[in-house]
């Protein structure tokens, strides 16, 4: 039953992608079109949102209500309401994950700015930078919505605590510190949900490197308007989630045993801050159990967000997390029980089809009441109303002027470069080896399986970047005589057959840079690491190249998880170590600037002090 349930979900998900990509995208379809469908009360912009939401619910049959409880909400033709896809992603730029976004489907937008992975931007410890990244992504997202290539509801940021260093998704988070994660959540959500707009016009950034003053979405009285949203951000995944697949444990069945103090001191602060101060309009409940109860069934935690934290938004399950309540965790006695438990606990929408397939039966068996569904719909429709989805043609609204010209702009690409600059960390620099003087570098060698792969610099939940560039290409722009050797066939580096060529290249060069670390074959969703060492024979590659080089080498580390490179720290043949993580589309440029002294990176001592 477990396997068949998961297979069915992913089959349906595949079909949804296939169908969405089978025809060219169109301009956004919206309800309340004049003259036939704008006479309903829910289309009356002068009425309070609560009343409009109640009006909409009152027009629906039970079957129509149930069809709204999936991420791929069905249309209601008789009311002029088109289907809506809730699931779009924007972790560090508009992402290809999720069926709500389409880059390659005949639309005018084929790429979007690729910012550094979250763990890299977090290393800047710059709140204004986080706010501006959220703002820039929002502009591109709303622009894509206006041409029918994205939704209005995005499931980011990931603010789980990165406690286990082996976690494959730690790269998506601001790190292990609750204070830093909380601050990041607040700034990103404020920027993403519309904190940069005044009178419908984006103001220019000012200041060093384009990092300027924060800007807010204002109402007519000049106060922050919580009822209006440019886009919807989602705090995920609540809560105590930092395991994918390790040994006999998987994220679908793992029970996180957490003390009350650890819950309050560690795991909950980022979510509380995201909702109370960031004013997030969505919360996602996670796959795992928390102290024996599935996260999407924890009524005490989900309802607390509304009663104590003042949450005004909707709660979505992670994809197929309702199914896991029955099929993986055996917490409920039937599929109908799982659906009823989740909806009564406070979940409003199910990513997947499990609720669609079992809610009717749950109602008929008396396990679920229509009033429970109505409450979920009220939360869902209220967010859509705040987004202006029922206000008529969005291209005539406050954000209607945004379009392809607002994607991959010079300002956004400069911001991506600045984020990469500020996120890169200098871990070692013996005898002030860096920066190099470009005039003194007659030739350069860059070695490693990731050194010439532009698509490896984004990490997971990435999109199609505007101007992707490999590290080799970025450095060659500074030193024309730059050579490259792969060293290992891939990041797993199970063979040393390419070592000889790398050593020859290293011997011939004046200076040598070795790129080692992780990529998504080592850490990603549904995949944890089993060791903190460099994968395979990478350590041997670094040491072999360092021994052959005329001068001490520069070691560049990629990846979003911790690495034990103590061997390099104590090796005098390795003069400098730089951590670049997944630096995004501008990472190659940022690394070159740092190596040649055009930008000064953060020091590991400063960074470690700030998170201690």
Residues marked as catalytic: 318
Give CA–CA dist 497/512, Å, rounded. Answer: 20
Rounded CA separation 591/422 (Å): 11
Instruction: Using alpha carbons, select from 75, 67, 85, 87 the residue that is nearest to residue 33.
Output: 75
Give ∠ CA 87-90-94 in degrees, rounded to 5. 105
Find the helix or strand (DSSP H, E) in which 428 lies.
strand 425-429
Long-range contacts of 204-213 (CB under 8 A, 24+ apart): 204/411, 205/132, 205/411, 205/415, 209/414, 209/418, 209/421, 210/132, 210/411, 210/414, 210/415, 210/418, 211/126, 211/128, 211/129, 211/132, 211/415, 211/418, 212/128, 212/132
Contacting residues for 32 by C-beta, under 8 A, at least 6 apart: 38, 40, 42, 43, 80, 390, 391, 392
Residue 536 contacts residue 499 (beta carbons within 8 Å): no
- Cβ neighbours of 602 (radius 10 Å): 18
Q: Tokens 């859509």 label which residue?
A: 384
List the beta bridge partners of residue 578. 426, 556
**Structure-block tokens of residue 533:** 């060492």
């Amino acid at each position: 039953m477990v396997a068949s349930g998961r297979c069915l979900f992913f089959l349906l998900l595949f079909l949804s992608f296939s169908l969405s990509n089978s025809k060219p995208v169109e301009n956004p379809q919206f309800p309340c079109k004049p003259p036939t469908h704008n006479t309903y009360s829910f289309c009356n912009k002068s009425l309070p949102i609560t009343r409009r939401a109640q009006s909409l619910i009152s027009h629906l049959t039970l079957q129509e209500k149930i069809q709204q409880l999936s991420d791929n909400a069905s249309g209601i033709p008789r009311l002029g309401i088109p289907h809506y896809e809730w699931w779009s992603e924007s972790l560090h730029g508009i992402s290809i994950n999720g069926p709500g976004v389409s880059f390659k489907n005949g639309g005018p937008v084929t790429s979007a700015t690729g910012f550094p992975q979250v763990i890299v931007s977090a290393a800047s410890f710059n709140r204004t930078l986080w706010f501006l990244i959220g703002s820039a992504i929002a502009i591109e997202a709303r622009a894509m919505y206006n041409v029918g290539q994205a939704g209005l509801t995005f499931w980011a940021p990931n603010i789980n605590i990165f406690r286990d260093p082996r976690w494959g998704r730690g790269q998506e988070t601001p790190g292990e510190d609750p204070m830093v994660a909380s601050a990041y959540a607040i700034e990103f959500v404020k920027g993403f949900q519309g904190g940069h707009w005044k009178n419908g016009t984006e103001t220019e950034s000012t200041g060093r490197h384009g990092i300027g003053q924060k800007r807010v979405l204002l109402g007519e009285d000049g106060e922050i308007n919580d009822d209006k949203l440019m886009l919807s951000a989602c705090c995920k995944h609540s809560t105590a989630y930092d395991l994918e697949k390790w040994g006999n444990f998987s994220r679908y069945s793992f029970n996180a045993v957490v003390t009350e103090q650890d819950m309050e001191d560690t795991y909950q602060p980022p979510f509380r801050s995201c909702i109370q101060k960031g004013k997030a309009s969505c919360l996602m409940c996670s796959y795992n159990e928390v102290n024996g109860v599935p996260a999407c069934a924890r009524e005490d935690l989900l309802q607390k967000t509304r009663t104590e934290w003042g949450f005004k938004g909707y709660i979505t399950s992670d994809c197929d997390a309702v199914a896991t309540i029955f099929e993986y965790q055996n917490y409920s006695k039937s599929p109908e029980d799982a659906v009823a438990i989740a909806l009564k606990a406070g979940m409003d929408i199910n990513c997947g089809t499990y609720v669609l397939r079992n809610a009717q039966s749950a109602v008929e068996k008396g396990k679920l009441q229509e009033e429970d569904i109505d409450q979920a719909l009220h939360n869902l429709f209220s967010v859509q109303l705040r987004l202006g989805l029922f206000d008529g043609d969005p291209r005539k609204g406050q954000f209607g002027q945004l379009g392809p010209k607002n994607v991959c702009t010079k300002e956004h690409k400069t911001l991506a470069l600045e984020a990469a600059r500020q996120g890169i960390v200098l871990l070692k620099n013996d005898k002030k080896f860096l920066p190099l003087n470009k005039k003194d570098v007659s030739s350069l060698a860059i070695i490693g399986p990731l050194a010439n792969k532009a698509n490896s610099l984004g990490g997971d939940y990435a999109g199609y970047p505007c101007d992707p560039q490999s590290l080799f290409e970025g450095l060659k722009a500074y030193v024309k005589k730059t050579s490259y050797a792969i060293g290992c066939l891939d990041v797993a580096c199970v063979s040393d057959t390419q070592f000889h060529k790398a050593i020859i290249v290293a011997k011939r060069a004046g200076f040598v840079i070795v790129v080692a670390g992780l990529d998504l074959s080592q850490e990603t969703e549904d995949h944890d690491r089993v060791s903190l060492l460099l994968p395979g024979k990478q350590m041997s590659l670094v040491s072999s190249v360092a021994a052959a080089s005329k001068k001490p080498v520069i070691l560049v580390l990629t990846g979003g998880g911790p690495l034990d490179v103590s061997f390099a720290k104590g090796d005098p043949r390795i003069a400098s170590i730089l951590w670049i993580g997944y630096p995004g589309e501008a990472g190659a440029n940022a690394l070159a600037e740092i190596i040649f002294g055009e930008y000064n990176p953060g020091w590991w001592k400063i960074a470690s002090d700030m998170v201690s």
